[in-house]
Amino acid sequence: MDWKAKSNDVSTDTQENIEENLHSCDVCGKLFTKKYIHQHKLTHSPPISYQCDVCNEKFTSDILLTEHKETHAGKKFFQCYICDDTFSTIDDLSSHTCMKTGARPYDCDICGKTFSRSGHLQAHKRIHIHGRPYKCDVCGAKFSRGGNLTAHKNRHRGSITYDCEECGRQFNQICHLSRHKRVHSGERPFQCDICKERFSRSDGLAQHKRTHRKKEKITM
């Protein structure tokens, strides 16, 4: 056997050994050694983030998230620094705090109008983008979404409704609509005569004043 034949045998053996140690990607079919195949597969499926809707902590799998959420069951540990009320989710606490302080952290990048809740901002921005193309043929009220118009017209059949032009929410009494609109305007007409804190609703003020009475009992 000449040296060329021996060389070919060695090359064939080496090639076979390499192929035996290669792993095929089940997505694209490319071959990689065991050391690199896992790293390559990650390029096909970037890590998915599973976020807890209670505390916003993130996890790499839904199993880990499920196990984590069991630790929250029945607990309310997000506490308001103003009135000590507790909430089961951080989003509920955020909405409550905005109501207490009058904060409006969500601002429209088109007109600058501010809102206390992200959902109200999104409803408002739909008006900028699409206008209010859906018009009620009964009363002339206009809506940014067809679903809001449908719900509105259904209520015409039963009783008169009053609709919020900002978010489309409907009320059967105008006083309820007026109270609701303070959420959008930030108006807080009810003032505590003890600490001067203001509220958008009378029941919010009543709840607040109960905290003063509790403190008085503790100090007595």
Q: Alpha-carbon distance 165 to 83, whole Å?
A: 32
Q: Alpha-carbon distance 216 to 132, whole Å?
A: 51
Contact 87, 93 (CB under 8 A): yes
pLDDT value at position 20?
Answer: 60
Which residue is listed with tokens 């050994």? 17
Fold of the 83-157 domain: Double Stranded RNA Binding Domain (3.30.160)
Helix (H) / strand (E) containing 35 = helix 34-41
Looking at residue 57, the DSSP 8-state letter turns out to be: -
Nearest one of 218, 219, 185 to 201, comparing CA atoms: 185
pLDDT value at position 18?
Answer: 46
Contact 88, 75 (CB under 8 A): yes
pLDDT in tens, the chain (220 residues): 554 444 445 445 544 554 566 777 777 777 777 776 776 676 666 556 778 877 777 777 777 777 777 777 766 667 787 787 877 777 777 777 777 777 788 888 888 888 877 778 888 888 888 788 888 888 888 887 777 787 777 777 666 667 887 787 877 777 788 888 877 777 777 888 888 888 877 777 878 877 777 666 555 5
Homologous superfamily, domain 162-210: Classic Zinc Finger (3.30.160.60)
Helix segments in 70-201, DSSP class H: 90-101, 118-130, 146-156, 174-185
Which residue is listed with tokens 């990689």? 32
Looking at residue 62, the DSSP 8-state letter turns out to be: H
Q: Do domains 32-75 and 162-210 have the same CATH topology?
A: yes
Span 32-75: which CATH code? 3.30.160
pLDDT value at position 201?
Answer: 75
- The domain spans of the chain are 32-75, 83-157, 162-210
Q: What is the pTM of this model?
A: 0.34
Beta-bridge partners for 208: none
Contact 152, 161 (CB under 8 A): yes
Q: Alpha-carbon distance 115 to 130, whole Å?
A: 19
Q: Alpha-carbon distance 27 to 63, whole Å?
A: 24
Nearest one of 76, 73, 80, 79 to 88, comparing CA atoms: 76
